[in-house]
Each structure stands twice: as C-alpha cells, then as structure tokens.
Amino acid sequence: MRARLWLELAGFAVLTAIVAGLPRYVSDFRARELAIVGMYFIALLGLSILTGYSGQISLGHGAFMAIGGYTTAVLSIDGVYGHQIRDLWTIPIAGVIAGMAGLLVGVPALRLSGLYLALITFGIAVSFPQLPKKFDHFLGGTTGKILNLAEPPFGLRTTTNNWIYYLTWGIALVLLLAAWLLVRGKAGRALKAIRDSEVAAASSGINLATYKTLAFGISAFYAGVAGSLYAIANAYVNPDVFPIILSVYLVVGLAVGGLDSLVGLIAGAGLIYFLQNHADTVARWINHLPALNLDPKQPGIPSMIFGAVLIVVMLLLPTGAGGLLRRVFGPLTSRLYTRS
C-alpha cells in the first residue's frame, strides 16, 4: 500500500513538472489550447467524483459550467452594487455558486435512480440555454455578455495565453490534489461503497443522502470553476458557449478517460477538446484513405465522424482508457492495486 502511495505522489510530481515546464516548448496558441484542455480536465475531475465514485450519472454538467461562466461574467462586468470584481477573484465565487446549484439538484436526485437521473439531468442541460434568453436583461440573452480581456495580474510579464495556461493548470493541480485526498479518505471510501452497493453502504451506517448530495455539490463546484475559467479565456459568454452538447462531451470524456482513473481524465479532456475543435482534421485525414471520398466541409460529416468515433471507442474500450490501463498493467501492479 505504501508503495502505491509513493507511486502516485511521484506521478503527481512528474505531472507538476511537465505542466510547469511545457509552455517553454510550445507556441503561444498551443498554450491556450492546453489551457482549455485543463478546463475540461477540471470539469471531468468533478464529474468523476459524481459518477465514478458515487455512481450517479449526470448528463447535465454543462449547465453547471454555464453557471460558473455566467457568474464570472456578471460579477466582473455588472459587479456587486456597481463594483466590478476582478475576474481572478470571481473564480472561487463562481465555483461556490455552481456548487450550491449542485446541492440543490443533488437533493431531488436522491430520489431518482440511474437512468431516471440521467434523463432529468439531460433535461437540465437542454433547458438551461433557454434561461439566458428569458432573463436577457440580466444575462444578456442570445448575444450574451462580453468580459474584459484577461490580463496577467500584478504586472506579471507574460503573454495572456500563458497566463491563462498557468492559471488553469495551477488550479487544476490544486483541485486534482484535493480530489485525490478526498478519494483516498473517509469520504472517498464512503462514496465507493455507495457506488458498489447502496444497500450495503447504508446498512454499514453510511448516510447515503449526505454523501450523494455532497458529491453533486462538489462536482458542480468543479464544473463551475471550469466554466468560470472558460469565460475568462473566451472573454465572452452566451448560450452557444455552453451548448447542450457540452454536457454530452463531458460524459463522453469521462467514459473514455475511465471512471476510476484520475489521470485517465486528462486523456478524456484531450479527447473532448480534439473532437470539438478538430473534427475537420479527422475528416481530412480520413480523406486520405483510398475509396473514401468525404468532403470534410460538407455539413453532416463532422457529426458522422464524431458519432462513429464514439461508437468505435466505446466498443473497443467499454471500461474506458483507465480500464484498459488497468487491464494492461494490472498483472504487473496487482500487488500494488487493491480492487476499488
């Protein structure tokens, strides 16, 4: 057990080193791309606590990201009593507000199981984009709200993109540590027990309601932080910034990354980013294969490719990348791993 602990800590240190050093070797634009991957990673961390550890499926976490993003937008532009809040400080506030929304959802979620919950949260994801349109005076309607361009604070001399990169990944690493501690600790064990068997967990004295609701709140907090960062990086928010399909992407990223593997989530985050922004690259690449004549610009091709990729990936990796890793490296580390 101790060996595993050292292994994980070492892995964390390596990750930190990579994150710290990477911008020196990549272009400014790449840094921004990596930052956005980091934001998805944060959201996925939260989602994995909810789905991977407490076993509740949410198809609506894009809505919590939207809450975080809009909170940041409103606070930094309209401010509180006209006093604008610097975008940096809005991040924790956005997280907390999203987290509270998550708790609010978590309470009725207790009464819903599995697929019912998936459907209701899907309903939330679908309904949410309507709200800014309804409360357009406050939330900007379909045009949205425009934020000030993000600037490195305290006169730090670095580019905007690098700043966003460090901000995002700094927060990501802190939140990763927090998630890791949570999962290893009493709460994590309780959540895993709930995931494996609610009846058994409850009979062992675990308060199902508290932990399940808490899981919702925490995962929403993470998503809110991610959404807030996204708003800052984007410099504007509107309903299309957090579309319905974002919630789907999150779940896909989670499933591909593997429900149990915190590091596999980086792969999941990367996948989301890639599919969202580079579907045309994939189309062009497929075009090189003989006998296939796909015009990547034709509407419908990106959807087809994304859909096909999803199906194939899930067929090949039903337990996600984390599951695959476990199967490949399992025998090697079987003495280090306990079945969780």
Partner 1 sequence: MFLYAFTWTEFAQQVAAGIREGAIYAGLALAIVIIYRFTRVINFAQGEMATFTTFIAWSLMNHGLSFWTAFPLVLAIAFAGGVAIERVVIRPVENAPVLTIVIITLGLALLLNGLMSVIWGGANRQFDGPFSTRTIDVGSVPVSVQDIGIVAVSVALVVLLALFFRFTKLGLALRAAAVNPESSRLVGIRVGWMLALGWGIAAVLGAVAGMMIAPVVFLDPNMMQTILLYAFAAAVLGGLESPIGAVVGGILLGVTITLLGRYVGFIGSTLKLPAALVLILVLLLARPGGLFGRVAVRRV
**Pattern 41-80, binding to partner 1, x per CB under 8 A?**
----------x-----x-x---------------------
Nearer to partner 1 (CB atom), residue 242 or residue 306? 306
Nearest approach in angstroms of CB 295 to partner 1 is 9
Q: Which of 1, 149, 199, 328 binds partner 1 (CB under 8 A)?
A: 199
Residue pair 201/190 in contact by the 8 Å Cβ criterion? yes
Q: Which of 96, 309, 324, 336 binds partner 1 (CB under 8 A)?
A: 309
First to last CA, the chain: 13
**Residue 131 is encoded by which pair of tokens?**
């709200």
202 binds partner 1 (CB under 8 A): yes
Nearer to partner 1 (CB atom), residue 254 or residue 325? 254
- Within 10 angstroms of residue 203's Cβ, the number of other Cβ atoms is 9
Nearest approach in angstroms of CB 130 to partner 1 is 6
**Pattern 112-151, binding to partner 1, x per CB under 8 A?**
x-xxx-xxx-xxx-xxx-xx-xx-----------------
282 binds partner 1 (CB under 8 A): no
Nearest approach in angstroms of CB 286 to partner 1 is 13
Q: Which of 98, 101, 190, 305 binds partner 1 (CB under 8 A)?
A: 305
Instruction: Please enumerate, as own/partner, the contacts of 134-137 that have beta carbons within 8 Å and a separation of 24 or more.
Output: none
103 binds partner 1 (CB under 8 A): no
Among the listed ranges 34-42, 146-154, 231-239, 253-261, the one in contact with partner 1 (CB under 8 A) is 253-261
Q: Which of 9, 17, 209, 308 binds partner 1 (CB under 8 A)?
A: 308
168 has which bridge partners? none
Please choose, from the candidates 136, 108, 141, 142, the residue with its C-alpha nearest in 3D space to the C-alpha of residue 123: 108
Residues in contact with partner 1, total (CB under 8 A)?
52
Among the listed ranges 30-38, 184-192, 212-220, 296-304, the one in contact with partner 1 (CB under 8 A) is 296-304
Nearest approach in angstroms of CB 335 to partner 1 is 26
Nearer to partner 1 (CB atom), residue 116 or residue 329? 116
The amino acid at residue 199 is: V
315 binds partner 1 (CB under 8 A): yes
252 binds partner 1 (CB under 8 A): yes
Nearest approach in angstroms of CB 161 to partner 1 is 31
Binding site for partner 1 (CB under 8 A): 51, 57, 59, 108, 111-112, 114-116, 118-120, 122-124, 126-128, 130-131, 133-134, 198-199, 202-203, 208, 248, 251-252, 254-255, 259, 298-311, 314-315, 318-320
